[in-house]
Amino acid sequence: MRNEQYRAMVTPEEMVLRLQGLTRGIQDFLAAEAKEHGLTSTEFVALIRSTNGDRVTGAYLAHALGMRSSSVTGLADRLEARGLIVRRAHPTDRRSVVLQATRRGRAVVNRAIGPLLEQLLSVAGELESDERAAVAAFLARIDEVLRRPQHRPSSAPRQPGRGRRN
């Protein structure tokens, strides 16, 4: 295993510090890509979430992004005016509207994050199968921690599809 040299050196505290650094790096990356495409960071994150094929509602975005529903309405208005999303009636809840990325919106997201995802795939491909298994297990445990009720707003609606394992 190639990471034997790190096994004894990396403490749990160092792992958490590395995760914090990765979080900041992802935030910086998203902010820069948003700016590059003439969007705010919040607009860009909302656009990304609307491309995943799940039914993303305004209520979900309000909770996920820590916004008021009126602010999400304004955000959706701006994205829709630029041709990046469309609003559709929710198929099972007549009170809700689903925000879906348009072809143009998906193209913006793909141009922005596609190259990074390809690089990450390449890095993952360089790992041995036991290393990938260890990383996947660690990430799954982090995901479980983040899903615990004490780490989510109590009234946040669940995004459809969350919790599915690939």
Neighbours of 21 (CB within 10 A): 10
- Rounded to the nearest 5°, which phi and psi values hold at 101? -70, 140
5 in any annotated domain:
no
157 in any annotated domain:
no
Give me the sign of the Cα torsion angle 41, 47, 52, 54. Answer: positive
1 in any annotated domain:
no
Reference 53, options 92, 99, 91, 9; nearest CA is 99
Q: What tens digit of pLDDT does each residue of 61-79 get? A: 999 899 999 999 999 999 9
**pLDDT tens series, the chain, 166 aa:** 455 656 567 899 999 999 999 999 999 999 999 999 999 999 999 999 999 877 799 999 999 899 999 999 999 999 999 999 999 998 888 888 999 999 999 999 999 999 999 999 999 999 999 999 999 999 999 999 988 887 665 545 555 554 443 3
Instruction: Give the CATH number of the domain where residue 103 resides.
Output: 1.10.10.10
156 in any annotated domain:
no
Structural domain count, the chain: 1
Provide the pLDDT for residue 147: 86
pTM: 0.82
161 in any annotated domain:
no
Q: Are 58 and 69 in contact (CB under 8 A)?
A: yes
159 in any annotated domain:
no
Q: What one-character-per-residue DSSP string does 70-92 give?
A: HHHHHHHHHHHHTTSEEEEE-SS
4 in any annotated domain:
no
DSSP assigned state of 53 = S
Note down the domain range covering 89. Answer: 11-151
